[in-house]
Amino acid sequence: MDMPAKKLGLKERYAALTRDLHWDTTYQPMDKVFPYVSYEGIKIHDWSKWEDPFRLTMDGYWKYQAEKERKLYAIMDAFAQNNGHLGVTDARYINTLKLFLTGVSPLEYMAHRGFAHVGRSFPGAGARVACLMQSLDEIRHAQTQIHSMSVYNKHYNGFHDWQHMHDRVWYLSVPKSFFDDAVTAGPFEYMIAIGFAFEYVLTNLLFVPFISGAAYNGDMGAMAFGFSAQSDESRHMTLGLEMIKFILEQDPDNVPIVQRWIDKWFWRGYRVLTLVAMMMDYMLPKRVMSWKEAWEIYAEENGGALFADLARYGIRVPKGWKQACEDKDYLSHQAWNVFYNYGAAAPFHTWTPSKEDMDWLSAKYPNSFDKLYRPLWEHYTEQAEKGNRYYSKTLPMLCQTCQIPMFFTEPGDPTKICYRESEYKGEKYHTCSDGCKEIFDNEPEKYIQSWLPVHQIYQGNCFLPGTDPTAPGFDPLIAVLQYYNMNIGRDNFDFNGIEFGKGSEDKNNFEKWKAMSTGNM
Amino acid sequence: MTTAAIGKYDFAPMDSADKFPAPLLYFGWEDHLMMCAPYCVPFPPNLVFGDMLRGPFADIYGYHPDFAKIDWDKAEWFKSGKPWKPDYTKSLADNGLKHKDVIRFRTPGLTGLKGSCH
């Protein structure tokens, strides 16, 4: 073996630790070693044209991440030891963390698996190494998020079984099926779905609201993992952008395939962000900005510039773009009403906005709030105060593609539910929008397999073993919540208590502990 | 367009009628978004349409102040979005309702809380 005569420069060192790790196989043909690289129809002629967006070697990566990890754990220890959870604005805030832990952290883990899998699938060393690093980032994100939120599990309800819930609870099938859809696609579609559409186009609308939300509401713990992940996120964005440009530059036949994936994954990702919209406008006691403002900055301005840049490849804005921009006046309000309806069936608390909250919403949403949503919240509050809090006990119709209850409204008419219908092999399928219908119609074989929580409940697949649905007094909804492993009466119902006004355990404990930490009880 | 796959890609649908205790019916009340989405319920096919309105519908929608004001003779019905006229005295099956059909009703004059369609 030739030993290098002198220390390598950064560039050579990078080449040695990435490109030099690749060889063309001879004992086995290359297409047997990389069996997934051609079936999606994407044509790559020259992997050496891949421009590494960041010249990071594995050993450099390791040192850099270890340093960040040390800082992060120091902050998390300090947060835990100083009862940092009592520094948050109020206990309503903690529900955003429950949403994050059950809905988002499991996706970080899936992203880890996804990038490991697609990295293995690419015959180009540059793309492979970049995917490997992202795969490691993602498992680190999953771990640090779980770790930093574990402190809340000691004190508050709903944090105890997030992975179990992610695989079962009705609304968590939305983020779960989103990622399952991506990891069951081919490697190139996965890269457009997660690397580009999610990490590049939409990630700011997921992380900025949660992490700024944490900062605004005094949660040092969640803020720390957000900042620790931030430098990784910019690397991920760069990888996503490099991947799409590389694919488009390799062959003009790739353009229509990529365009269809952009249309699909923009819409899939946008639907998942529904949960963020309601979190921003309704769940944060101290709000960062409205969903509408976030959408205007991160999607309309930044995304608009991105697609103007991609136009030279023949790529246009995603098909659902206009619709998504129109929906910004309605989305968060409609979504929070769903959770208010089903507040008995989710492992976090719901509530109606206070008078001050409503004034803020009215100022942020002058076109919609007073006319459409204020009468609803005022009615709910009035009824709840009379002991007549509304909980829906009947299961909703779900969209076959995004799996969200069919609450979305028609383009141009926020008072009319949008129904779309398809037929495949004699069976009817329902979707919530033109975007979801088109995704279904393009690949019905895939979406007829959707594990729709409502249908699964009616098929009897969501009860614990040994449950007897024929037993006298059998309550199917209670049985489903037991299957979810929810602590009924503690994790769910109104923030203000099952008996309205008496307070949920979280609310009462937080107020009591806070008083103990600031006075002499 | 079909799913790109490395081999045969053929799976049974997850939600065919044989897997449910009764055919699924989806139903929604127009102009009343307080009940946030249409519902999904497996109703026995021999359930009389009018009994469904008086029984399950009253339980499901009764919380809404408009529900008590509904004149069912004036309700407008839609099936898969197209105008449709059910016979209240006949069963769901005899009204032609099948697994995963979607029906909606509109109650003229009733437009929710303060006319907000909620």
Q: What is the pLDDT of residues A433-456, one digit of tens each?
A: 999 999 999 999 999 999 999 999
**Is the minimum CB–CB distance between B8 and chain A shorter than 8 Å?**
no
- Say what the pLDDT of residue A399 is: 98
Q: A289 vs A103, A140, A226, A260, CA distance in Å?
A: 22, 29, 18, 32
Length of chain A as a residue count: 521
CA A69 to chain centre: 23
30-89 in A: which are within 8 Å (CB) of B? 35-36, 39-41
- Please indicate whether, in this complex, the C-beta atoms of B38 and A186 are within 8 angstroms of each other: no
Residues A343 and A365: their CA atoms lie apart, in Å, by 24
Span B2-37, pLDDT tens digits? 899 999 999 999 999 999 999 999 999 999 999 999
- Say what the pLDDT of residue A3 is: 65
**A359: Cβ contacts below 8 Å, ≥ 6 apart:** none
Residues A415 and B79: their CA atoms lie apart, in Å, by 19
Q: A296 vs A157, A250, A300, CA distance in Å?
A: 35, 33, 5
End-to-end CA distance of chain B: 39
Whether the pLDDT of residue B93 is over 60: the answer is yes
- Say what the pLDDT of residue A19 is: 84
Span A99-122, pLDDT tens digits? 999 999 999 999 999 999 999 999
Residue A81: how many other CB atoms lie within 10 Å: 9
**Is the minimum CB–CB distance between A371 and chain B shorter than 8 Å?**
yes
**A23: Cβ contacts below 8 Å, ≥ 6 apart:** none
Q: Is A463 exposed, middle or buried (0-12, 13-18, 19+ CB in 10 A)?
A: middle
How large is the ipTM?
Answer: 0.98
**Which of B40, B80, B99 to mutate: most A Cβ within 10 Å?**
B40
The DSSP call for residue A350 is B
Yes or no: say if A450 and A424 are a contact pair by the CB < 8 Å rule: no
Residues A517 and B18: their CA atoms lie apart, in Å, by 59
Span A190-246, pLDDT tens digits? 999 999 999 888 888 988 888 999 999 999 888 888 888 888 888 898 899 999 999
398-417 in A: which are within 8 Å (CB) of B? 398, 405-407, 409, 415-417
Whether the pLDDT of residue A368 is over 60: the answer is yes
Mean of the per-residue pLDDT values for chain A? 94
Span A166-190, pLDDT tens digits? 999 999 999 999 999 999 999 999 9
The CA angle A261-A265-A269, to the nearest 5 degrees, is 175
Question: Mean of the pLDDT values across residues A312-318?
Answer: 96
In this prediction, residue A484 has a pLDDT band, given cuts at 50, 70 and 90, of very high
Q: Classify A235 as helix, strand or coil.
A: helix
Span B41-74, pLDDT tens digits? 999 999 999 999 999 999 999 999 999 999 999 9
From chain B, the residues in CB contact with A429 under 8 A are 100
DSSP letters spanning B11-26: ---TT-GGGSSS-EEE
- Please indicate whether, in this complex, the C-beta atoms of A186 and B4 are within 8 angstroms of each other: yes
CA A310 to chain centre: 25
- Say what the pLDDT of residue A8 is: 85
Residue A373: how many other CB atoms lie within 10 Å: 25
- Say what the pLDDT of residue A2 is: 65
Q: Label the pairing between strands B82-84 and B101-106.
A: unpaired
Whether the pLDDT of residue A1 is over 80: the answer is no
Q: Classify B64 as helix, strand or coil.
A: coil
Mean of the per-residue pLDDT values for chain B? 97
- Say what the pLDDT of residue A458 is: 96
Cα–Cα nearest to A169, from A347, A338, A42, A295: A347
From start to end of A337-426, where are the E strands?
A: 409-410, 413-417, 420-424
**Is the minimum CB–CB distance between B19 and chain A shorter than 8 Å?**
yes
Q: Which residue has the higher pLDDT, A315 or A230?
A: A315
**Is the minimum CB–CB distance between B26 and chain A shorter than 8 Å?**
yes
**B87: Cβ contacts below 8 Å, ≥ 6 apart:** B49, B94, B95
